[in-house]
Structure 1
Amino acid sequence: MRENPYREDREELKELLRQYQNLKQGRSHSFLEEEAFERIIDYFDDKDNLPEALEAAEAGLEQFPYSSQLMIKKADLLLATRKYREALDVLEMAELYDSSDINLYILKTDAYLALDQQAKAVELLESALRLFEGEERLDLLFELADVYDDYEEFDKVFDCLKLILEEEPNNEEALYKICFWTDFTGRNEESIRLHQQIIEDYPFSELAWFNLAAAYQGLKLYEKAIDAYQYAVAIDEKFDYAYRNMGDAYLRLRKYKEAIEVLEKVLELTRPEDVIYEAIGHCYHRMGNYAQARFHYKKAVHLNPDDSKLHYKIAVTYMLEQQWQSAVKQLENAMRIHRSVPEYNLAMGECKMNLNQFKDAIQYFGAVVRYKTKNVAGWEALIRCLIKAEFYDEAMEQCMAASKATEGKPVFLFYHSAVLFIMGKSKEALVKLETAMEKAPRLLKKFVEINPSILQNNHVVDIVARYKKGKKI
């Protein structure tokens, strides 16, 4: 056994390079074997000295003109220098001497792809698959999958990966890749069958359990997905992506407490991410624990301060607690990043209205209907604010503008009627109410919210009673 093989190899390479330089300069030199030229080429290639590597390949081929190995190395270098047609010519020559080298087909594929000849690359690899088996066949299938990806034949990418896993069920690279392509192609049922078979043979493959779970999740079978993820984390308790996806499945089932538990596990296992804190915040939000929701949203903001949506979510938690001023501060942060988002303007208008700052509120609601003219919620908020501010003439004008902009949504007839009643124009108001009830009696509650005492008006009660018969309000 050699004491220091690395040092000996280095000395040997040094001597080969010296002999090679002597050859180039026409000085006396030892005979260089074919393998020596291969090592010299690799040395220059590793140093990113492609011209010198190419020169060494040429020199080697002068000595060994029938060496397919040296031809393949030369073709590889030509590809690296973007001489694709020259590379193909060299590879054609190499194939005459040895057609059993897998690198021949892989390099040819690279050349065809570089020349935008995907069909030729596919044809070559499909024919080559019949010549190889074992690891080499799997390498060709991976290569073919990449070609199909480039060719945008995405179902065939899935087919290649499926073939690999049928031959080698525990192939990690294929297991990782097929998860993405299952989701991308929507072939979840096939993926479920494939991974169930793999699990039968390899019950402790955490990747197979994960892929099975992801396929169930793709079909919205969240309970089954969770069961499979739990097997994955039982095998590998540090499998953070399984916890992450399990958290999403629990969220979809509205099992917020369980979602929080697994998402907190993700935070233990990986570097903190804003999306995880945001998801935990969302869970607390839906559970009505607004203080905890804010706490986690703020952690997310700390990691991603330029995400306006996070500032908005914090504001919403304050709004739900009627802490209008605190909500305004968060909305100002959101709007410094993205000013014209309708949801932010709508929320800001709501806060300003509840702070009795009506002119500001009207301005924000006005911005919403400018950005999204068909947005019913924006028009409703604007009209309600104008009524609350006692700008009745303007409210009536906006009712008509809203009706026109939203192609006659009946809700604005109810608002129009409510404004007319407030202004003492009862006859016109009753006509509007009658029309509104004909079109959408279920929206009566919007009318009543403006002025609950209106139900003491006998004429209004008569109209409502007429439409109650046989129609749900």
Structure 2
Amino acid sequence: MKQNPSRNDKEEIRELLRLFENLKNGRSQSFLEEESFEKLVDYFDDKEDYPQALQAAELGIEIYPYSSVLLVKKADLLLATRQYKAALETLDQAELLDHNDINLFILRTDAYLALDQQEKAVELLEEGLLLFNGEERLELLFELADVYDDYEEFEKVFDCLKLILEEEPTNEEALYKICFWTDFTGRNEESIKLHLSIINDNPYSELAWFNLGAAYQGLKLYEKSIDAYMYCIAIDEKFDYAYRNIGDAYIRLRKYKDAIEMLEKVLELSRPEEVIHEAIGYCYDRMGQYAQARFHYRKASHMNPEDSKLYYKIACTYINESQYESGIKQLQQALRIHRTQPEYNLAMGMALVEIGEYKTAIEHYANVIKSRPKNVKGWSAILECMLKADLLDNADEYALAAYEATGSKPVFIFYRAAIFFALGKTKQAMTQLEYAMAKAPKLIKKLIELQPKLMQHPQVVDIIARYKRSRFI
């Protein structure tokens, strides 16, 4: 009959604990081998019972004073309990017994970092790189990469990962990590060269193909990135991040239909995500398929009801279809979350203008101006609303304020001219028009757009003709 290993392990540890208690209580008849002390230390360490683990290590060292393994375990426990100097002293003792143990380097590094002695940690690991080969050398390189990461020497993190892959091109941990650090450091050209070399010897490494695609994407070489990702999914058809990145690349190329196909594949392969539905919605939006865009924006908003941007995007699809009332309802939800967001207030103002709610529209445009006083759009919108609604009492004050706030943008002189024409103050209007034409004659288009009938005004036509003859327009 086959015995249960787990049950045997439990019985063994139970017996070891009994013998350990006897030894602690001075019962000399009990005896534990060196390996038994190691198991006890690990048992207490797993339970985070550090006092007991340290006691087991120290008792074991007392009986087996030449055990470098127990000394290393003790040092590890001292580190866990923040006794860094004591840990270093213990590691010095262990080194006398076995100077080739890689744990000496790793634990010393941890102690130096805890004591904020980064230079010593780096020096120690670089020394270790000269002593160790194979897996142990790679382990030290990973450790060194972590040290550089902690101290924000990010270029050197990339260097360490590159060295690992030059020695072991199929190391999965390094392949996963270097993708992030390539993007973070912008060392895309180096990454391309490295991964082409890896692929040359390991053509079925889906991670290498993925990283190659990501590096091309970082250089905005989207066609090449898509080709690399396609090889990746040919090797592993369930590599969802490759489909995700292909979708992004197609969006950059404005190939929205292809992007949707890839992003829908992501939804098939992984848990639905807000960002994927939002991206699909964006593609349909750009294709003018607003109902489909809304469907996916709504899916995204159900996953994250506090994301005001999604309500804004839904609102824009309604506004694009001239469904202003529905758009306003969505904007109200967005504004409940972020009341002062300029884009939401601007869109709300535009929608309200379309249904004739001019005074409320002006309130929203005022919010835009308050948030972004130097932005031309908000000032232009409020002035156009005032002109359209014939709410001109304070309009010239707003136009003058806009001119000053935006650094004397000449377009607002044309707005002043339009306001004076609308008020029937022809003399003041002509003065402003002359001044505006002297500043920026090409912007006469804005005045004509605001008041097309002015093209029938003899004095206006005369001024325009004069500047045309001067070749200013």
* TM-score, normalising length: structure 2: 0.97
Q: For 1:122 and 1:437, locate their aligned partners in 2 and report how far apart those are by CA, in whole Å.
A: 67
* Map of 1:402 onto structure 2: 402
Report the Cα offset of residue 2 of structure 1. Answer: 7.5
Deviation at 1:212, TM superposition (A): 0.4
Cα RMSD for the two superposed structures:
1.6
Change (3 A) 1:295 1:469: farther
User: In 2, are the aligned partners of 1:88 and 1:108 still within 8 Å (CA)?
Assistant: yes
Given that 1:441 and 1:471 are in contact with CA atoms closer than 8 Å, whether structure 2 keeps it comes out as: no
Mapped to 1, the partners of 2:317 and 2:471 lie a distance apart of 37
Q: Secondary structure at the match of 2:394?
A: helix
Report the AA paired with residue 397 of structure 2: E
Paired residue secondary structure (1:16):
helix
Within a 5 Å distance, the mapping from 1:285-364 to structure 2 comes to 285-364=285-364
The equivalent residue for 1:376 is 376
* Native 8 Å contact 2:113 2:121 kept in 1: yes
Cα 1:391/1:65, change in 2 over 3 Å? same
Distance change in 2, residues 1:469/1:186 (3 Å) = farther
Q: Is the 8 A contact 2:247 2:262 kept in 1?
A: yes
The question of whether the paired residues in 1 share the 8 Å contact of 2:72 and 2:103 is answered with yes
What is the alpha-carbon distance in structure 2 between the residues aligned to residue 429 and residue 422 of structure 1?
Answer: 9
Q: Distance in 2 between matches of 1:328 and 1:265?
A: 33
Count of residues in correspondence between the two structures:
473
Aligned partner of residue 180 in structure 2, secondary structure? helix
Q: Which amino acid aligns with 1:14?
A: R
Q: Are the counterparts in 2 of residues 437 and 444 from structure 1 also a CA contact under 8 Å? A: yes
Equivalences for 1:13-162 in 2 at 5 Å? 13-162=13-162
Q: Does residue 262 of structure 2 align to residue 262 of structure 1? A: yes
Counterparts of 1:326 and 1:212 in 2: how far apart (Å)? 45
Cα 1:170–1:295 shift into 2, 3 Å = same
Amino acid at match of 1:272: P
Alignment partner of 1:15: what SS?
helix
Q: Is the 8 A contact 2:315 2:331 kept in 1?
A: yes
Give, in whole Å, the separation in 2 of the partners of 1:12 and 1:50.
Answer: 21
Judged with a 3 Å threshold, the aligned counterparts in structure 2 of structure 1 residues 53 and 396 are, in CA distance, closer, same or farther, namely: same
How far 1:306 sits from its partner (Å)? 0.2
Aligned to 2:441: 441
Match for residue 415 of structure 2?
Answer: 415
Does the 8 A contact of 2:414 with 2:447 survive in 1? yes
Q: Which amino acid aligns with 2:25?
A: Q
What SS does the corresponding residue of 1:203 show, helix, strand or coil?
A: coil
The aligned runs of 1:161-240 (5 Å cut-off) are 161-240=161-240
State how far apart, in whole Å, the 2-side matches of 1:472 and 1:109 are: 72
Cα shift at 1:129:
0.6
Residues 200-228 of structure 1: CA deviation (Å, up to 9, x unaligned): 01101111011001001111111111111
Partners in 2 of 1:264 and 1:133 — Cα distance?
A: 46
Secondary structure of 1:393 counterpart = coil
Q: Secondary structure at the match of 1:129?
A: helix
User: Secondary structure in 2 aligned to 1:392?
Assistant: coil
In 1, are the aligned partners of 2:387 and 2:422 still within 8 Å (CA)?
A: no
Distance 2:470 2:39 in 1: 91
CA contact (8 A) 1:19 1:29 kept: no
Q: Following the alignment from structure 2 to structure 1, what is the Cα–Cα distance between the partners of residues 282 and 129?
A: 50
Partner residue, 2:249: 249
**Whole-Å Cα distance in 1 between the matches of residues 160 and 36 of structure 2?**
38
Task: Give structure 1 stretches of 5+ with no counterpart.
Answer: none
Supply the AA of the counterpart residue of 2:369.
Answer: V
Q: CA deviation at 1:472?
A: 7.4
Counterparts in 2 of 1:364 and 1:200: CA distance versus 1, 3 Å: same
Q: 1:261 to 1:21 in 2, by over 3 A?
A: same
Question: Which amino acid in the other structure matches residue 411 of structure 2?
Answer: V
CA shift, 1:96, in A, is: 1.4
What code does the residue aligned with 2:130 have?
A: R
Contact 2:108 2:121 in 1 (8 A): yes
Identity value in percent: 67
Question: In 2, Cα distance between the equivalents of 1:167 and 1:468?
Answer: 72
Distance change in 2, residues 1:381/1:179 (3 Å)? same
Q: Taking structure 1 as reference, are residues 27 and 327 closer, same or farther at Cα in structure 2, changes over 3 Å only?
A: same
CA deviation string 1:414-434 (max 9, x = no partner): 111111122222232223222
Quote how far apart the aligned CAs of 1:353 are. Answer: 1.5
Give the letter aligned to residue 381 of structure 2.
A
Moved more, 102-111 or 437-446: 437-446
Q: Residue type of the partner of 1:434?
A: E
C-alpha separation in 2, matches of 1:11 and 1:372: 72
Q: Cα gap change, 1:370/1:72 in structure 2, threshold over 3 Å: closer, same or farther? A: same
- Please give the secondary structure, in 2, of the residue aligned with 1:204: coil
Q: Which whole-Å deviations, capped at 9, do the CAs of 1:55-107 have from their partners, x for residues lacking one?
A: 00010011111211111000001111111111111111111111101111111
Q: Distance in 2 between the 1:12 and 1:319 partners?
A: 73
Q: Using a 3 Å threshold, how does the CA distance of structure 1 residues 472 and 15 change in structure 2: closer, same or farther?
A: farther
The CA deviation at 1:6 is 4.1
Q: Give the Cα–Cα distance (whole angstroms) in 1 for the partners of residues 146 and 467 of structure 2.
A: 65
- For residue 466 of structure 1, report the CA deviation from its aligned partner: 3.3
CA distance in 1, matches of 2:347, 2:187: 41
